[in-house]
Structure 1
Amino acid sequence: MKHLNLTPLTPLTALAVIAALGLTGCMNTSPVWDANFGDAVRTVRMMQTLNPNAPYNPDPVTGVDGRAATFAMDRYNQSFRNPPTDTSAYVIGVGGGSVGSP
């Protein structure tokens, strides 16, 4: 059976360990983190929102004529009934590339 060769700590190393353990008790960052939790997500969401007051608009379709709205709705509905097919969806990366060949 092997015995571990533990060398005793020097006084300076022991003092550094005790100081580090003592300082961890004084460190309290959780309330700071909790107070700001989610701020980054809320900020980015607001930056990406074109009109944050859009839900409060009483007339949301001002400026859209009936023919254009009907055509847009019909195309939207047809996109689910007859989705566009992509014939090359399963051949990505397959082919006559010559990368690395002499």
Structure 2
Amino acid sequence: MAIKYERMACAALSGMLLCGCSTAPRFDENFGTSVRANAVAQVLDPSAAANTNPAAGMDGSAAVIAHGRYQDSFKATEPPIKSLIINGMGSK
């Protein structure tokens, strides 16, 4: 009689375990949807590539000065910041 109950328990347990197995997971139909939605949300203006005059509104002299300052920012490095050392023995 005990063997019959063991077989029934084993069969029930294996049946429950097999219910969790599936050849096609449920997320396949929506796989990648969140990535595509995030990429679309990051695009500010989808028609920006068609704009033939992207610098409209900025006059030429201001653009030349801004570009010159940008280029000059790479010529010299900033001097290192000297650290302030404070100790309990006094300073010299």
Question: Can you list the C-alpha shifts for 1:35-81, whole angstroms capped at 9, x where unaligned?
Answer: 53433233223323321221111221211211121122112212222
Report whether the alignment pairs 1:74 with 2:68. yes
Aligned residue identity for 1:17: L
SS at match of 1:60: coil
Identity %: 29
Question: Structure 1's 38 and 78: CA in aligned 2 closer, same or farther, altered over 3 A?
Answer: farther
TM-score, normalised to structure 1, is 0.52
Given the alignment, which residue of 4, 13, 17 partners 2:13?
17
TM-score (norm 2): 0.56
Q: State the aligned residue count.
A: 80
**Larger Rg: 1 or 2?**
2
Work out whether 1:62 is the aligned partner of 2:56: yes
Q: Deviations over 1:74-99 (max 9, x none)?
A: 122122222445627xx7xxx89xxx
Gaps of 5+ in 1: 1-8, 97-102
Q: Distance in 1 between matches of 2:78 and 2:24?
A: 56
- RMSD across aligned C-alpha pairs, in angstroms? 3.3
Question: Does residue 28 in structure 1 map to residue 24 in structure 2?
Answer: yes
- Runs (4+) of structure 1 exceeding 6 A deviation are none
Query: 1:16: how far off?
Result: 4.4
Unaligned runs of 5+ in 2: 88-92
Q: Secondary structure, in 3 states, of the residue corresponding to 2:46?
A: coil
